[in-house]
Chains A and B, each alone.
Chain A
Amino acid sequence: MFYRETGQYKTTYEADQQLFPILQDRLFVIAVLAFAFAVVPLVASEYLLRAILVPFLILSLAAIGLNILVGYCGQVSLGTGGFMAVGAYAAYNLAVRIPDLNLLVVFVLAGLAATLVGILFGLPSLRIKGFYLAVATLAAQFFLDWAFARIKWFTHDSSSGSVSAPPLAIFGWLVDSPAEKYLLVLGFVCVFALAARNLVRGAIGRSWMAMRDMDVAAEVIGIRPLYAKVTAFAVSSFFVGLAGALWAFVYLGAWEPLAFDVNRSFQLLFMVIIGGLGSILGSFLGAAFIVILPLALNQLPGWLGIPMSTALISHIEFMVFGSLIVFFLVVEPHGLARLWAVGKEKLRLWPFPH
């Protein structure tokens, strides 16, 4: 009823290959973007911007990065937190040691630093697969945790081990209100989500998915495993590193290595599984879900009228996450993104489903 592509005939392959081939989809995306850029900053409360939207957007970016690696290329990583930390500390060192450097450049260079480290730890993926690789990335996580906590150079000899970001100024624009921070992050996320979408539907994306689905056949049709896997690690780490820099500078402001520990890695992996493996949209849905769920659980005692300690709530959160992971893997491996697609399909046929 609301959703018909009937009558929209494509006459060129360009038209068939555009990002959203269906007119309604295009209009919907434009409306969402217009709302996000123009309306939200004006009407949203400071709490909503600072505590929900900014972390949601940054974690979406990191989840996109991880999804490229896990969902598209089939390489499981438990070191995402460590790569975020590389981005964060690279940005910190660049900003502190080269004060005149434009902050946008700092963020991009931070992403590139994570890319280098990602490639280094991604090289073993040529010889090892599956959970072997997962344990290898765990090695990266613990090593990076240790390096940022113990090697004084990274923290600029800060005595407590915690560091704080310099003020956020870009071309003279001082980003300090929650609305401005939100707009900055939103801009980054839009640009890079689009880039990710382009990559995964282009030649390189096909070679990642080919490695994921059937690596021997991929090699036989001329895809180089080395190139495919290393680029997946590189692109993924770039996104994750950039997200780490934003997380540190825009969301946290001041942080210590614990902000990027192994639990962050698990959290991101869960976002990707719940949101949908191999889906850019799913990365957003998963991030939204995992940011909102704890907030909703915190409201639970109020709704039920039962007093609960914060420790208990966090334990319940663990249980809910654990059950959901198993649930999604069993029932809907393509996650929320698939549920969304099914809903759209239903809507397309409604009210005459036959």
Chain B
Amino acid sequence: MSGAREAGPVILAVGGISLAFGGVKALSEVGFDVREHEVRAIIGPNGAGKSSMLNVINGVYRPQQGRITYLGETREEMEPHFAASHGIARTFQSLALFKGMSVLDNLLAGRNLLMRTNLLLQALRIGPALREEVAHRRRVEEIIDFLEIQHVRKTPVGRLPYGLQKRVDLGRALAAEPRVLLLDEPMAGMNVEEKQDMCRFILDVNDEFGTTIVLIEHDMGVVMDISDRVVVLDYGRKIGDGTPDEVRSNQAVIDAYLGVQH
């Protein structure tokens, strides 16, 4: 458990979300809420609809039914730009970095939303445009320090090893200074040490910036350690919701993981 923080009021809630691709149902009638400053985990077997859920929250997928309440405003579907500009950032399960760009540019791109100068000033690169570039560079360097990737800041991301790419992915999301951070399997494919580092980064983000975290993870040890509350999905339905201890003793969850005939 991450100790120091107090979970605040509900910042994000989804209700009755159903999503289908053609005839395939990815999510049916899923609902849960996320409190400010907490670490909220979504777990479930492969194909349970976890990533789809994140995609619904930040507007990549449009659900056929349901509502999303964010910052007190309820809507039927999220719009990616609205989500991004109102403080929802995310990382991706299979890396979705900008491979041809340097680490620095990837992180700066994460802050593009916060940049305001117009095209003409950018072309001339004078006055506000130059000041803005430098100011944002300063903020991005802080994140680079935080994630300990100083030595690769000018390397194109495509040439970095997997573990570092995962960190850059997190860095790009952090660069936007999000209120809610959606992490899609941030530790997939990592060894124990890398996982420990990543856990530390996640908890630090949560502690230092008070960022709310919604996390998909397969490693049960990690989930139980760092999350405050857990949602369990199976075949696109919610089968459990509560503190790690409650979820651990939930019969439906145990069945889903140990495999019981449906």
Cβ of B89 within 8 Å of any chain A Cβ, yes or no, is: yes
* Interface residues on chain B, size class: 35 or more
Cβ of A219 within 8 Å of any chain B Cβ, yes or no, is: yes
* Contacts between the two chains (Cβ within 8 Å), count: 103
Cβ of A307 within 8 Å of any chain B Cβ, yes or no, is: no
Q: How far is the CB of A98 from chain B (nearest CB, A)?
A: 24
Cβ of B160 within 8 Å of any chain A Cβ, yes or no, is: no
Chain B residues contacting A17 (CB-CB under 8 Å) are: 133-134, 137
Chain A residues contacting B89 (CB-CB under 8 Å) are: 220-221
Q: Are B112 and A219 closer than 8 Å at their CB atoms?
A: no
Complex: A157 Cα to B113 Cα, angstroms: 49
Q: How far is the CB of A219 from chain B (nearest CB, A)?
A: 5
Q: How far is the CB of B104 from chain A (nearest CB, A)?
A: 10
* Contacting residues of chain A (202-220) with chain B, CB-CB under 8 angstroms: 202-204, 206-207, 209-210, 212-214, 216-220
Known: A14-B130, A214-B96, A221-B84. 12 other contacts (CB 8 A): A13-B137, A198-B124, A202-B122, A206-B108, A207-B112, A210-B101, A214-B99, A219-B81, A220-B80, A221-B89, A221-B112, A223-B109
Q: Are B122 and A204 closer than 8 Å at their CB atoms?
A: yes
Q: How far is the CB of A121 from chain B (nearest CB, A)?
A: 20
Which residue, of A213, A224, A231, has the highest number of chain B Cβ atoms within 10 A?
Answer: A213
Q: Are B99 and A213 closer than 8 Å at their CB atoms?
A: yes
Cβ of A79 within 8 Å of any chain B Cβ, yes or no, is: no
Q: Are B134 and A14 closer than 8 Å at their CB atoms?
A: yes
Q: Are A204 and B105 closer than 8 Å at their CB atoms?
A: no
Complex: A191 Cα to B100 Cα, angstroms: 26
Cβ of A312 within 8 Å of any chain B Cβ, yes or no, is: no
Cβ of A178 within 8 Å of any chain B Cβ, yes or no, is: no
Q: Are B109 and A13 closer than 8 Å at their CB atoms?
A: no
Task: From known contacts A195-B124, A198-B125, A231-B119, infer whether A222 and B137 are also in contact, taking CB-CB under 8 Å.
Answer: no
A-B contact pairs, 5 of them (CB 8 A): A203-B108, A213-B101, A214-B98, A221-B109, A221-B113
Q: Are A198 and B123 closer than 8 Å at their CB atoms?
A: yes
Complex: A95 Cα to B92 Cα, angstroms: 54
Complex: A199 Cα to B124 Cα, angstroms: 8
Which residue, of B58, B84, B112, B122, has the highest number of chain A Cβ atoms within 10 A?
Answer: B112
* Contacting residues of chain B (121-143) with chain A, CB-CB under 8 angstroms: 122-125, 129-130, 132-134, 137-138, 141
Complex: A329 Cα to B117 Cα, angstroms: 36
Q: How far is the CB of A119 from chain B (nearest CB, A)?
A: 13
Across chains A and B, which 6 residue pairs bring their CB atoms closest together, nearest first?
A222-B84, A217-B96, A213-B98, A222-B113, A198-B125, A202-B122
Complex: A235 Cα to B112 Cα, angstroms: 19
Q: How far is the CB of A273 from chain B (nearest CB, A)?
A: 15
Complex: A105 Cα to B92 Cα, angstroms: 48
Which residue, of A13, A16, A209, A220, has the highest number of chain B Cβ atoms within 10 A?
Answer: A220
Cβ of A278 within 8 Å of any chain B Cβ, yes or no, is: yes
1/0 per position for B72-115, CB-CB distance to A under 8 A?
00000000110111000110100011111100010011101101
Interface of B is mostly: helix
Cβ of B172 within 8 Å of any chain A Cβ, yes or no, is: yes
Q: What is the chain B residue whose CB lies nearest that of A227?
A: B81
Q: Are B58 and A220 closer than 8 Å at their CB atoms?
A: yes
Complex: A12 Cα to B131 Cα, angstroms: 12
Interface of A is mostly: helix
Q: Are B100 and A202 closer than 8 Å at their CB atoms?
A: no
Complex: A66 Cα to B188 Cα, angstroms: 39
Chain A residues contacting B125 (CB-CB under 8 Å) are: 198, 202
Complex: A196 Cα to B83 Cα, angstroms: 31
Q: How far is the CB of A243 from chain B (nearest CB, A)?
A: 17
Chain B residues contacting A222 (CB-CB under 8 Å) are: 80-81, 84-85, 112-113, 176
Chain A residues contacting B85 (CB-CB under 8 Å) are: 222
Q: Are A206 and B101 closer than 8 Å at their CB atoms?
A: yes
Q: Are A13 and B134 closer than 8 Å at their CB atoms?
A: yes
Chain A residues contacting B199 (CB-CB under 8 Å) are: none
Cβ of B13 within 8 Å of any chain A Cβ, yes or no, is: no
Complex: A202 Cα to B172 Cα, angstroms: 16
- Cross-chain contact of A219 among B80, B100, B122 (Cβ < 8 A): B80
Task: From known contacts A203-B112, A206-B112, A210-B109, infer whether A195 and B123 are also in contact, taking CB-CB under 8 Å.
Answer: yes
Cβ of B60 within 8 Å of any chain A Cβ, yes or no, is: yes
Q: Are B105 and A206 closer than 8 Å at their CB atoms?
A: yes
* Contacting residues of chain A (232-262) with chain B, CB-CB under 8 angstroms: 235
Complex: A209 Cα to B97 Cα, angstroms: 11
Q: What is the chain A residue whose CB lies nearest that of B100?
A: A213
Q: Are B117 and A212 closer than 8 Å at their CB atoms?
A: no
Q: Are A217 and B119 closer than 8 Å at their CB atoms?
A: no
Q: How far is the CB of A21 from chain B (nearest CB, A)?
A: 10
Chain A residues contacting B123 (CB-CB under 8 Å) are: 195-196, 198-199
- Cross-chain contact of A221 among B100, B134, B172 (Cβ < 8 A): B172
Chain A residues contacting B98 (CB-CB under 8 Å) are: 209-210, 212-214, 217-218
Chain B residues contacting A14 (CB-CB under 8 Å) are: 130, 134
Chain B residues contacting A209 (CB-CB under 8 Å) are: 98, 100-101, 105, 109
Complex: A219 Cα to B112 Cα, angstroms: 11
Q: How far is the CB of B70 from chain A (nearest CB, A)?
A: 15
* Contacting residues of chain B (53-67) with chain A, CB-CB under 8 angstroms: 58, 60
Which residue, of A12, A198, A212, has the highest number of chain B Cβ atoms within 10 A?
Answer: A198
Which residue, of B60, B83, B85, B133, has the highest number of chain A Cβ atoms within 10 A?
Answer: B133
Complex: A295 Cα to B96 Cα, angstroms: 45
Which residue, of B89, B101, B176, has the highest number of chain A Cβ atoms within 10 A?
Answer: B101
Q: Are B81 and A224 closer than 8 Å at their CB atoms?
A: yes
Complex: A202 Cα to B126 Cα, angstroms: 11
Q: How far is the CB of B202 from chain A (nearest CB, A)?
A: 19
